[in-house]
Amino acid sequence: MELQYQFFLIYLGAVNLLAFVFCGWDKRAAKRGARRIPERRLLALCALGGSPAFLLGMTLFHHKTRKPRFAWGVPLILAAQLALLVLIARCL
């Protein structure tokens, strides 16, 4: 496998792990009344490639599922990312 693809897979793995952890962390902070992770930061993490893991975290932790920005936004970000991935794959 080429080095570019290895880097891309490592990047996606890291950003998805981070997104999942942040989702769980923010849910825990919400339950405890502690300082939260800003929504803008969570959505930015999704936009950077962490949307699959964040969507999984939303489901498992029952976190941000009632907020339209997340209930609609994260799946739309994921759909856009998948469409872009398909488009790139066709061009290669």
- Tokens 């290669």 correspond to 92
pLDDT classification of 73: cutoffs 50, 70, 90: very high
pLDDT classification of 21: cutoffs 50, 70, 90: very high
Q: Is 2 a member of any domain? A: no
pLDDT tens for 28-70 read 999 999 999 999 999 999 999 999 999 999 999 999 999 999 9
Q: Is 35 a member of any domain? A: yes
Q: Is 4 a member of any domain? A: no
Q: Is 5 a member of any domain? A: no
The count of structural domains within the chain is: 1
Q: Is 30 a member of any domain? A: yes
> What's this model's pTM, rounded to 2 decimal places?
0.93
Question: Residue 92's pLDDT is what?
Answer: 78
Percent of the chain residues past pLDDT 90, beyond the cut: 91
Say how far apart CA 20 and CA 16 lie, in whole Å.
6
Residue 73 domain boundaries: 10-91
Q: Is 3 a member of any domain? A: no
